[in-house]
Each structure stands twice: as structure tokens, then as C-alpha cells.
Chains A and B, each alone.
Chain A
Amino acid sequence: MAEFRMPSLGADMEAGTLVEWLVKPGAKVKRGDIVAVVETQKGAIEIETFETGEVEKLLVDLDTKVPVGTPLALIRTEAEGKPAAVPAPEKPSPPAAPAVTAAEPAPPTVPVPPAAAVPPPPAPARPMAAPVAEGRVLASPAARRLAGERGLDLSTVAGTGPAGAITYADVERGLAEAEPAVPAAPVAPPEPSEKPPPEKKRVPTLNLEAMRVAIAAAMARSKREIPHYYLEHQVDVTACERWLSETNASRPPDSRLLMGALAIKAVALAARRFPAFNGFYRDNKFEPAPAVHVGVAIAIRGGGLAAPALHDADKMPLDELMSRMRDLIQRTRAGRIRGSEMADPTITVSSLGERGVEVLYGIIYPPQVAIVGMGKAVVRPWVVDGAIGPRSVVTLTLSSDHRVSDGHAGALFLAEIGKLLQEPDKL
């Protein structure tokens, strides 16, 4: 019997709230199927199963917040076949973490000013047996107790104590900041394309304030822990623009290619050749990633930001990459990102597009080790073959982790991206 567990959707996630089951006991699932929706600070995230088989039992009720690693369902794998007469023994080992019912304040009959909102009920302390290795937040006992009592997710708090640990005062500050977000999460407009919602189904919402807190925690951690170095490289993208306009001329608008897709492909190919920019820095060492999953920074109206993965971007033909990117952007803005998309990016690309500025320097999303920034293309006088002419020029930047690579390697990596962009037809 395989256990379908609450996944870690990023190093800073400690717990998630199960908001939707997309399968029932008895349902057949195969690896990669979306079986549940989990709400995190980054919004509602669709969770895939890694097992193929039959759903035996759902273990966690809707609207229940459980720590990462908690079994959510049992899946009878194909190898096990039909249940035997003797039921498989209930697995006792991983602690059935005490389920914490999510704070669901009943709608008040009289409008209550936000300040008077009832704080979330005290949550029991997390069991010590919860998985320790990944994403363990460094926090003092006093900070943990206060956060537990007040229902604050420690991963949203920046630590100022010894070794960057979260202290009691940090939690107090986090509570003060988080308080206004508690009473009223913004409700996203219903999506017309959605099927009529089944009972108890919650319209996925993006809690932008919680997302801001999560961004703050990740970025503060990045600047605290990662010694960034920054490189900048100007690249003539006239060839790309020419090739794009030729290619797009005969295409309907919804299948046209964008410069961003070329950049992602070029970064992905370069990352495959320069593994020191593709992977994770964890437990004081760099783990190069075997595949290239490019995180695409996507701005969300109202002030959010997410960078979900385009899996295997280096291996995808441009057309597929483009359509996957469109789908990813649409789903991200609707608050439906898949778990693997949140956790998997091995390098990030951030492009502010045509309405942006000329240069942007990214902050690395930990535990990644590099982020490539791309400014807007501007027409500049440029020397080509000894003559000055107008060319479209883009400034590429690299923010990279100096624990893993040095400027020399970074320069070669950035130059490689520039070279790849000279021959867009080969991308």
C-alpha cells in the first residue's frame, strides 16, 4: 500500500490545507494524475500522485491543515492487486499528525470590524516526529510556541536571532503583519470555464497578502544566506526579432511565439551545458539537477509573484514550450499551480517584458542557485561587421550563488545564452 502524502511545495512550507479531493475511494489513478488540491500561502496547488493504482482510503478530511509528510490517502498499487481476505495492517509508524481543523470562521451575522476578528484557534504543537530534514525552520522554542498558539506559519517569518533563527519578537512582528490578512481573504471571481463546483468545493483563491509574506520570507532568506554575484551582458536580439516576425506572420495570434519563450529555451540549453547554475544548494552543498526545469517568474495582478516550473524546458520544441508557458501563466494567475511546478524549478528566468525596464537583477529563489534576468529590447546604435547600425539589444543579467560558482563561469554561462539567441531557428 502506498501512502499519498502532503508534499513539500518549497523549502519553506511546513503544512498545507487540504481543500479538495479530486478522487474518491475506489478510483483508478495513474502516476501524474491530479488527485487533490492543497491550499498554501502560494495559493491553491494541485497535487499529483506518484503511484499508479487504486485509491484505497482517504485519510484526511477537507479543510484540514496537516504538516508536510502526513499521509493523505492510501493507494493500492498495481503490484498489490485486489485486497486479500486479511486486510493489510494499518501502517502505524509515521505519526498520524494531529489534524488541525483550518480556521473557518462562521460568517458573522453582524458585520464585525476586522480588528475584532477572532484569532485562529490555538493549534497543537507540531509533533517532533515530523520530517526534520527538508525545510526545517530555525526557530527558538519560545517562537515556536507562540506561533503554534496563534496559528502563524513560521515559514512566513524572517528570523533575526542567532544564526538567523526566528525569535519570539520575530513571531510577534509576523503576527502584527499577518493579522489584517486573517479576516478577509480576497475572493477571486468565479471562473466561467470551471465545471459547476461539487459540494463543499472551494473556489481556489489567491491570498495575495499571504503570498507577499511568503515572498518576503523567501527573499529575506535568499539575501541572508546566498552570497549573490551579478553579471550583465548585452545581447543583440535582432536575429530573434526577425525570426519571430517571420515565423509568426502566418500564425493565428494564440499560437504565436514570444521572445520570452526563446529566452527560456536558450537559458535551459545553456544551463544543461553549465550545470553549476542548475540545481539546489542544500545542507551546505550544491546538488546539480539532472534535468532542467526553468522557473518562470509570473507577475500576478494585485502584487503577487510566483515562479513555477516549465519542466524539461531544454528538451521541449519551441511550440510546445510556448503553449506550456501560456497554460502555466494562465493557471498561475487563476491560482491553480501544481505541486511539482512549485517545488521543481532548478533555475529561474525573470523577464519584465516589453513594458518593463532595460535591466533587472533578480534575487535567487532558494534553494536554487541562479536567476537570469531579461530586460526589454531597445534599439541601439550597434557595431556589426565594422559598421554602425540600429540593432535590438537586450540586457541579460545573471544573479548567481557564489558558494557554487564564480564570476568566470557565470560569464561563460551568460555568453552562451547570448550565443544561442543568435540562432533562434536552432533553439
Chain B
Amino acid sequence: MQQETARSGTIEMTYREAVREAIREAIKRDERVFLMGEDVGHYGGCYAVSKGLLAEFGPERIRDTPLSESGFTGAGIGAAMAGLRPIVEVMTVNFSLLALDQILNTAATVRHMSGNQFGAPVVIRMATGAGRQLAAQHSHSLEGWYAHIPGIKVLAPATLEDARGMLWTALQDPDPVLIFENVMLYNMTGKLAADAGAVDIDKAVVRRPGRDISLITYGGSLWKTLEAAATLAGENIEAEVIDLRSLRPLDDATIMASVAKTRRAVIIDEGWRSGSLAAEIGMRIVEQAFYELDAPIARVCSEEVPIPYPRHLENAAIPQADKIVAAAKAALGRE
């Protein structure tokens, strides 16, 4: 790995490699940790995240599973309840619906149902989002649904630092943590500190400060939002960009502090608009910061259609920088 090239300073790597490094570190640091899922071993993972890990750690720690999300997710939850620290990889969030019963009815509730005798310290990773022309059964963004469920934490790493650092912290949590990796981020390249390690998993972060409007987003939409903020800056609009990082719990304090400063908010969420996480955030702003508001809260979400296969339609269906720019300007009463 490139790691040897720079002991100190930074290393250039992809988001995919950052996730892989996080898994490697966890497996090395804690003997209870193992990775399981469809094609994670011999194939190296459907997004090649775990490529090379089977050779490095062997089939005990890198476990290929049958094609049954309900079965292997349940097995991972059981292993966690029994004392191990499994990392369960589900290919995409669309497929995770087959395991929804295990996640919601078992993992999220077992501590409550057992009177605090059991917990399920499992980490479930999965890919989410559109943009790779995988059509309507592989491209949706359903993390907002999971953010609805009490009993679990839902994370959305958007940067190399978070891809590298969230997993270890998640594994320390006594309850289930779901990590959503946007499919468009795996190939993203960037510089990461050579000594990058664990990061917190409960705070939102201001990725770009600004005074005129808060653009609240997460995951793959972060980069489109930052692009929109740069465009807005050219029109003398200083947008503040908030990366939520954690979708459950939401870091209300950071959101409200920003809105209290800018008095305006646009929420960018690749989920469908109706009943979305964006709706939840907007409502919280109304509940907690109503008197700070200077404009209607706006949302840029996916169109309410199954994500289309053709590239131009797929792009048109999900949030893009130009839509974010337009929504921000509308909130500012510009054009």
C-alpha cells in the first residue's frame, strides 16, 4: 500500500481505499472484528472495497455469505449479541430491505426487548445513491428511512477522513450502527493524513462557512453542494455548507447555530422529497429556530420517480449543483 511512502504528512488515496484501511485497522486492532457479506471475499466486494483482504486475513475474518440479506444480516446481529464485532456489508441499500426485519425488529429493538440484557453492537455498511446507471433497483437513497428508527445510529461519511475514521468509532458503540457509503464517492481521490484515525460520529461539521444561507446536506450530495456554494460565491452569496455526517441522531445544535446566523436554509437530500430526512430537518428548524427564519426553508431532493437508467434522466432525477444554486437564490429573493 502507499502507506509506506509517507510516514508523516499525507497520503493520496481513494474513498474506497480509506474504507478498506478502516476495515484493516479494525480487524488488526480487535480480534472480535470480522467482515461478512456477499462477494466480500473472493470477489473483493461489489465495489472492490475488500479487495485483497481475504488474502491478508483469511476466510475466518473475511467471510463470503449466501445471497440472503435477511440470513447473513441476522447472523451478524446474532454474532454481535453473542460478543463478536461483525462488520456486515450489504451490497446496496435497495437490497437491505430484505434485511429490514432483522435490522428493525431485531437489532434496533433487542436491547429494549431483553430488558437491557442484550445489545447488538453490529456495524452494517452499505452502498447508497444514484449516478452509476444501475437503474431503479440499485440506486435509491433510503438512508432517511433508517434514520427514522430509534435504537440504531445512521452515519453518512462524505469525506476520506470520515470514511477512514467512522468505522472504528462505530464498532465501539454498544448498539447497531449503519454506515451509508455513496456509490459516487468510492473513486473520489484525496489526501488523507498518514496518521488519520478514528473520528467522532455524532457531530455535524461546517465544511464551508458563510453568512447568507445554510446549505444542509450529507453524503454524496456534499460535493455538489460545495460546488453550488462556490458558484454562489461568484454571485456574492456566501453559503454555509453543513455536512450532517450523522443522520441519526441529528446534530440539531450545529444546524440551529448555522440557521440562526444565516436565517435561511436549503436542505439537500438525495432521498425522495415526501417524508424525507430533509422534511425532518426542515421541521426541526421550524420547531427550534422559527423566529430566526428569514425565508421559507427549501429542499433539493430526488424527483419522485424510480431512479432511471439513462444517464441524462438519472442526472435529472437527483440533486445537482444547478438545482441547489437555484433553490438558494430563490430563498434569498434573488431572481
Contact = CB atoms under 8 A, between A and B. Distances in A.
B293 A162 contact: no
B333 A140 contact: no
Interface string A121-161: 00000000000000000001111110000000000000011
Interface string B318-335: 000000000000111100
Contacts of B293: 140-142
A165 B290 CA distance: 16
A139 to B, nearest CB: 9
Contacts of B290: 141
Nearest to B296: A162
Q: Chain B: interface residue count, which band?
A: 10 to 19
A165 B331 CA distance: 11
A141 B332 CA distance: 15
Contacts of A162: 295-296, 330-333
A160 B294 CA distance: 11
Contact of B295 (A144, A145, A165): A165
A373 to B, nearest CB: 32
Nearest to A140: B294
A165 B294 CA distance: 9
Interface of A: 140-145, 160-165, 167-169
Interface of B: 263, 290-296, 330-333
12 contacts: A140-B293, A140-B295, A142-B294, A143-B294, A160-B333, A161-B294, A162-B330, A162-B331, A162-B332, A167-B263, A167-B294, A167-B295
A161 B333 contact: yes
A175 to B, nearest CB: 15
B300 to A, nearest CB: 16
B291 A167 contact: no
Contacts of A163: 333
A168 B330 contact: no
A145 B292 CA distance: 8
A168 B294 contact: yes
B292 to A, nearest CB: 5
Given A140-B294, A141-B294, A167-B294, 20 more contacts: A140-B263, A140-B293, A141-B290, A141-B292, A141-B293, A142-B263, A142-B291, A142-B293, A142-B294, A143-B294, A161-B332, A161-B333, A162-B330, A162-B333, A163-B333, A164-B333, A165-B295, A165-B333, A167-B263, A169-B294
A145 B330 contact: no
Nearest to B330: A162
Contacts of A164: 333
A168 B333 CA distance: 13
Contacts of A169: 294
A122 to B, nearest CB: 13
Nearest to A146: B291
Contacts of A144: 291
Given A145-B291, A161-B333, A162-B330, A168 B296 contact: no
A14 B234 CA distance: 40
Contacts of A143: 294
A406 to B, nearest CB: 28
Contacts of A161: 294-295, 332-333
Contacts of A141: 290-294
A162 B332 CA distance: 6
Q: Which 4 A-B pairs have the closest CB atoms?
A: A140-B294, A161-B333, A142-B294, A145-B291
